[in-house]
């Protein structure tokens, strides 16, 4: 089975604490490395957890609050200083290009690699990345400034078909790829052999939805329905729901409610307010609505 | 004796390592808190070492290479989010104002406190800060882009004069401040009593010179002569002197030479290249020229 693994690099909201860094995540799908948001200190976190940042193929920045992108300039500088020449795709708000260019202009930095900018259009379900193994679509979040979440999805995986099955039904070579992709087969004697009788490890493509930062927003549900893993911000406990609403954030209870209504398989909460030293109450609150909830913990990896 | 204490927050050069952060220092002179440079992660370092960042009165940014200022946006944001209303003086290259304003514009951040910008003029010995206790002057460094070091100096301290001395010479009240400031006294019988016979703890004003980043530059010597503490970058060992020259940096041997020629009392080296895991060879090299050399170590404080 190919890799589909999420590593948390930062899980704090706006103000970092001495133990929690601002938002950043590294997602590995089939050896494509996607950096999702890049708060201050992300390059240091990558080093700390021994994750090679030159392997990052693409960076996805949700929005232009500092705790989601202020680590990017330093990371790009280090990539440059350590000899990167491979292109880097950057999916981000249009304004980030101006911010990056202004700073490299004044530091007189001329990158040895190319940044390919892909500006957010803020359209739901917009296909922004696609290759043989993965596709990425947008989820438009509802925050104080324009903000975009992301839905990462494996391409349908080819199933296995055994030699015995090929011999038994005398399957010609030119039909094997179709069967691995899900086709049925009509045998020489005219019988339809269903795909399920032919392949032995059919696996549904896995999905990961990243939703940070947003207020409680039921319009997201249709875009994250049934995902294997939902990361949803849970900045506050529900006793602070007024503050959450005012700042366009979500409570742990609300994150659990979204997960429940979207029938996701697993919920991970994060983006914790610095006021919570102990995160258990946030976890318990989300679990009171949606049992299969876990906390985002820096340095921990989750296989989706 | 009033405080004069330097705390190292970061001592790495351009690329941070898992154990060393980019440049930042906190200097406390008589409860004035000066932040000198602000590399990525400085706000996290301040928290880690339990230094209250709302007490910072002024920030001094030497130049616009990312490892010297990329932590500033995050620090300003946190100061704002945590309720700062006191003005903050910022001594920096003119272009930093544009960089800060652009980012706060796109994040729709409206600071609750005022940043008072003081643009570098790149003139040697320019008096840029002065109050009752402290003055700060510039040291123009020789780097790849315009770069400014800083000389921090206590104002002359008042000496103590004991009651016994006042009674003995029958010194009138209106002359005591002059004597504390260094004046002699003419006694009732017309004898000149030298100041040294009147006061008992005369103390020379202390000085701290910050020189990072610069190539080996003997023209600095006259501006840092006799300082109590010189921080000088020592990015490389002398075996890499060609690389040092090319990148406008200094070797440990050269830093020691500058310290020797300037007759400073103590040298602290820092801004280490990420290639040096073990810093002892850098220390030994500088000490081979200038004995009283120490390493900059994150979290450690030095009383000047």
The two tokens of residue B287 are 């000490």
Helices (H), chain A: 42-48, 72-81, 95-106, 163-169, 176-180, 221-224, 241-246, 252-261, 280-287
- Is residue A131 annotated as a catalytic residue, yes or no? no
Report pLDDT for B182. Answer: 86
**Residues 6+ positions from A158 with CB-CB distance below 8 Å:** A177, A180, A181
Fold (topology level) of A4-157+203-303: Metallo-beta-lactamase; Chain A (3.60.15)
Q: Which helix (H) or strand (E) holds B269?
A: strand B267-270
- Say if the Cβ atoms of A78 and B16 lie within 8 Å: yes
B182: left (phi over 0), alpha (psi -120 to 50) or beta: left
Tell which of B41, B95, B120 to mutate to test the A interface (max A CBs under 10 Å).
B41
Choosing among A22, A79, A107, which should be mutated to test the B contact, i.e. which has the most B CBs within 10 A? Answer: A107
For the stretch A48-75, pLDDT in tens is: 999 999 999 999 999 999 999 999 999 9
Tell whether the model's pLDDT for residue A172 goes beyond 80: yes
ipTM (interface predicted TM) = 0.88
Q: Residue B98: closest CA among chain A residues belongs to which residue?
A: A102
- The pLDDT-based confidence of B158 (bands split at 50, 70, 90) is confident
Pick B40's closest partner by Cβ from A71, A99, A103.
Answer: A71
Range scoring the smallest mean pLDDT among A103-112, A243-252, B169-178, B295-304? B169-178
- pLDDT at residue B202 greater than cutoff 80: no
| Sequence-separated (6 or more) residues with CB below 8 Å from residue A169 | A185, A187, A188, A193, A198
Q: Chain A contacts of B81, Cβ < 8 Å?
A: 14-15
pLDDT at A196 over 90: no
- Residues in chain A with CB shorter than 8 Å from the CB of B103 are 64, 66, 99
Instruction: Kindly list the domain boundaries of chain A, sorted by start residue.
Output: 4-157+203-303, 163-197
Indicate if the pLDDT at residue A158 is higher than 90. Answer: no
Residue A74 C-alpha, separation from nearest chain B C-alpha, in angstroms: 6
H helix or E strand, kind and range, residue B57: strand B56-60
Give how far A125 is from chain B: nearest CA, Å: 24
The 10s digit of each residue's pLDDT in A1-51 is 789 999 999 999 988 888 899 999 999 999 999 999 999 999 999 999 999
Could you tell me the pLDDT band of residue A181, with boundaries at 50, 70 and 90?
Answer: confident
Q: What is the mean pLDDT of residues B110-128?
A: 96
Mean pLDDT of B194-200: 89
Residues in chain A with CB shorter than 8 Å from the CB of B78 are: 14-16
Residue A159: per-residue pLDDT? 85
pLDDT in tens, B245-288: 999 999 999 999 999 999 999 999 999 999 999 999 999 999 99
Is the model's pLDDT at B1 over the cut of 80? no
% of chain A surpassing 90 pLDDT = 87
8 Å CB contact between B88 and B114 = yes
Predicted pLDDT at B201: 75
For B143, which residue in chain A has the nearest alpha carbon?
A: A107
Rounded mean pLDDT of chain B?
95
- Given a contact cutoff of 8 angstroms between Cβ atoms, the answer to whether A136 and A59 are in contact is no
Taking only the tens place, the pLDDT of each residue in B61-101 is 999 999 999 999 999 999 999 999 999 999 999 999 999 99
Measured between CB atoms, which of B41, B48, B102 is closest to A98? Answer: B102
The pLDDT value given to residue B222: 96
Q: What is the mean pLDDT of chain A?
A: 95
B117 phi, psi to nearest 5 deg: -85, 135
**Which residue is closest to A14 within chain B, CA to CA?**
B78
In chain B, which residue's Cα lies nearest the Cα of A74? B66
Size of interface A-B (CB pairs under 8 A): 103
Digit-coded pLDDT (tens) for B27-68: 999 999 999 999 999 999 999 999 999 999 999 999 999 999
Residue of A13, A15, A101 to mutate, interface with B, max B Cβ within 10 Å = A15
Largest alpha-carbon pair distance within chain A? 75
pLDDT (average), residues B133-160: 94
Predicted pLDDT at B17: 86
Over residues A253-279, the pLDDT tens digits come to 999 999 999 999 999 999 999 999 999
> Looking at beta carbons, which residues of chain A come within 8 Å of B24?
none
- pLDDT attached to residue B156: 85
Sequence-distant (≥ 6) Cβ neighbours of residue B98 within 8 angstroms: A102
pLDDT of residue A266: 98
pTM for the model:
0.90
CB contact under 8 A, B107 and A66: yes
């Amino acid at each position: 089975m190919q890799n589909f693994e999420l590593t948390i690099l930062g899980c704090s909201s706006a103000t970092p604490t001495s133990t929690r860094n601002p938002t950043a995540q590294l997602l590995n799908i089939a050896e494509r490395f996607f950096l999702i948001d890049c708060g201050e200190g992300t390059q240091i976190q990558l080093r700390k957890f021994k994750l090679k940042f030159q392997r990052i193929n693409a960076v996805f920045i949700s929005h232009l609050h500092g705790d989601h992108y202020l680590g990017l300039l330093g990371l790009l500088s280090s990539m440059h200083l350590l000899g990167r020449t491979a292109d880097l795709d950057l999916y981000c708000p249009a304004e980030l290009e101006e911010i990056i260019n202004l700073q490299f202009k004044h530091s007189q930095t001329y990158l040895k690699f190319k940044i390919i900018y892909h500006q957010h259009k803020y359209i739901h379900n917009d296909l922004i990345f696609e290759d043989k193994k993965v596709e990425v679509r947008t989820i438009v979040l509802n925050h104080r400034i324009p903000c975009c979440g992301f839905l990462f999805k494996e391409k349908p995986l080819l199933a296995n078909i055994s030699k015995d099955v090929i011999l038994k039904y005398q399957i010609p070579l030119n039909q094997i790829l179709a069967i691995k992709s899900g086709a049925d087969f009509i045998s020489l004697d005219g019988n339809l052999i269903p795909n399920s009788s032919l392949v032995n490890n059919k696996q549904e493509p896995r999905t990961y939805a990243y939703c940070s930062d947003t207020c409680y927003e039921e319009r997201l549900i249709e875009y994250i329905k049934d995902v294997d893993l939902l990361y949803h911000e849970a900045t506050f406990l529900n006793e602070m729901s007024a503050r959450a609403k005012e700042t366009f954030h979500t409570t742990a209870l609300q994150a659990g409610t979204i997960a429940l209504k979207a029938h996701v398989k697993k919920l991970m909460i994060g983006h914790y307010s610095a006021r919570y030293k102990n995160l258990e109450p946030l976890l318990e609150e989300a679990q009171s609505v949606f049992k299969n909830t876990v906390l985002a913990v820096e340095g921990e990896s989750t296989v989706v």
